[in-house]
Amino acid sequence: MSKAMTGAKMVVQALRDQGVDTVFGYPGGAVLPIYDEIFQQNDIRHILVRHEQGAVHAAEGYARATGKPGVCLVTSGPGATNAVTGLTDALMDSIPIVVLTGQVPTFMIGSDAFQEADTVGITRPCTKHNWLVKETEKLSATIHEAFHVATAGRPGPVLVDIPKDVQFASADYQPRNAAKTQRYQPQVKGDMEMITKLVEAIETAKRPVFYTGGGVINSGPAASQLLRELVDATGFPITSTLMGLGAYPASGRGWLGMLGMHGLYEANLAMHGCDLMINVGARFDDRITGRLDAFSPNSRKAHIDIDPSSINKVVRTDFPIIGDVGHVLEDVLKVWKARGRKVNREGLQRWWAEIEEWKKVDCLKYKPSGKTIRPQHAMARLEALTKDRDRYICTEVGQHQMWAAQYLGFEDPNRWMTSGGLGTMGYGFPASIGVQMGHPDALVINVAGEASWLMNMQELGTAVQFRLPVKQFILNNERLGMVRQWQELLHGERYSHSWSEALPDFVKLAEAFGCKGIICKDPADLDDAIMEMIEHDGPVVFDCLVEKHENCFPMIPSGEPHNKMLLGEASTKDAIGAKGAVMV
């Protein structure tokens, strides 16, 4: 039964009806009526961030770690514009978040009022959909529709802009089941004829590979389980994008590791040399494909994706299947089993023998140093000391992000939070706050570079205020590491503005905010320092001083195919002469 209430009260009630328990936000004049309603209830916890960008990234981290949509609330004008980076990040990585923004009163819109911005116009390119609600009677139904759009089909960010007079006015509240969701009902079942053709290809392929992405994780836990069943039953090798790590376990017998620009040698060569590529929930990103005319040149390609616009957008495919990953994988398994579980065992045996030779290159091998901490060693020790714990990993963006993806193993989905498509420096710290809110008893670690971490370092205040024991593990090389690496390899060693100057004392900075700071520069002290970080019951900033000019390998140089990789010094000599490898 409908019930009259103010627009501000509707917002809180709609969030309650959607099962929201946490909102990340920052108050301002245009949202004060909503904040007043938040003050008068106890069902929804509000987390006060220190910057609106942090609110959106925190909502992203919460969404990715819990599987539920993240929610944030910000004011008009600069509050909304500060949210744009996070919205774009969520759109690129298909993260379901609902952003509620305040707006000047309806009668002042277009008058250049104080803290007015065309929020709907500004955010239209970086949301799945957005709304400006000018009538209070439409507010609750719009919020319910926003949650539906954010989570249905390919997930993504949505925004509801709410003028201040709409928040004050009263109207009848529309419950969740009254929302008009039928206007957006994406196709979830794949075409059975095309699925059968894919199964026929699976039965005969000599050199198959599964290429998986974040769409598997976005589809939910059942999709990851179905993927594992299909991979293990067929005996096919599997690789993943940066966004798909954890959908298939790193300890699984089919696992080749991550592929792409900084992917593993064996994964990239398998993609280059396969005869059947089965893309499950990935979008043929340029960091994966490299040079398109040389991308997996001799393979037939399948593409399973819920977003029709992704099919044949970048790479033409032989088996295009539009549908939800979970539903499609379920049907693939059913058809494959019904037809006798057939694979080309002789071809597979030869294919795995070739892959095992590539694995012997050991592309992540490095020479430890007794004097300085190499970043690979820092990641290897972090993995060894935390892998058996209830652990969630976030990252910032740069070399440290790639080292984390290479050296940390993920056995389950929703344990790895990183900015893939947009590559947002400053993402990881607020994301770790969102993850910790979703999993208060878990170990949450943000692997960072010092330059990225400084972009949203103010969120230390949030971590301390809400007693969130997030661990900030900073690989400090006093450089913009990935920029410096590209300048060394591709720009004649002209290091234009890639060396950090006037860095803070991170230990003192942590203590100034009221949390623990740790510094470590001796490899012999690293394990003890990591354990000190883990066992501390509050937030920690760990300043890990690492080798300043370390490069991240393997690396496919820009514009090169998958079989033309730069390898580190320790593994290069083992790769020379390996079948299919062309060394730079």
Q: Are 98 and 147 in contact (CB under 8 A)?
A: yes
Please name which of 76, 148, 151, 66 lies closest in space to residue 114, comparing C-alpha atoms: 76
Please identify which of the residues 115, 225, 458, 465 carries the catalytic annotation.
115
Please identify which of the residues 5, 417, 457, 482 carries the catalytic annotation.
482
Residues in a beta bridge with 448:
474
235 torsion bin: left (phi>0), alpha (psi -120 to 50), beta (else): left
Residue 379: active-site member = no
Per-residue 3-state assignment (H helix, E strand, C coil) for 394-409: EECCCHHHHHHHHHCC
Residue 114: active-site member = yes
Which tokens go with 561?
A: 């195919």
Q: 297 vs 276, 288, 289, 469, CA distance in Å?
A: 11, 14, 11, 48
Q: Other CB atoms closer than 10 Å to residue 517's CB: what's the count?
A: 19
* Per-position b or e across 397-422, b if 16+ CB within 10 A of its CB: bbbbbbbbbbbbebeebbbbbbbbbb
Please identify which of the residues 164, 301, 471, 516 carries the catalytic annotation.
164
Which positions ≥6 away from 164 have C-beta within 8 Å?
Answer: 29, 30, 31, 33, 102, 103, 104, 105
Phi/psi at 210 (5° precision): -90, 130
Helix (H) / strand (E) element for 4: namely strand 3-6
Alpha helical stretches, state H, 299-427: 325-338, 345-359, 375-386, 399-407
Residue 174 DSSP class: P
Amino acid at 521: K
Which tokens go with 354?
A: 């070739």
Task: Give the pairing of strands 170-173 and 3-6.
Answer: antiparallel
List of long-range contacts for 354-360, beta carbons under 8 Å, 24+ apart: 354/273, 354/579, 354/580, 355/237, 355/256, 355/266, 355/269, 355/270, 357/578, 357/579, 358/265, 358/266, 358/269, 358/270, 358/578, 358/580, 358/581, 359/266, 360/574
CA distance 161 to 71: 14
Please identify which of the residues 3, 114, 531, 573 carries the catalytic annotation.
114
Residue 115: active-site member = yes
Alpha helical stretches, state H, 455-496: 460-465, 481-490
Phi/psi at 373 (5° precision): -85, 120
- Using DSSP, state whether 264 is helix, strand or coil: coil
Please identify which of the residues 9, 13, 24, 52 carries the catalytic annotation.
52
Q: 215 vs 129, 279, 282, 383, 521, CA distance in Å?
A: 20, 10, 6, 25, 39
Residue 564: active-site member = no
Residue 136 DSSP class: G
Residue 185: active-site member = no
User: Which residues are designated catalytic?
Assistant: 52, 114-115, 164, 482
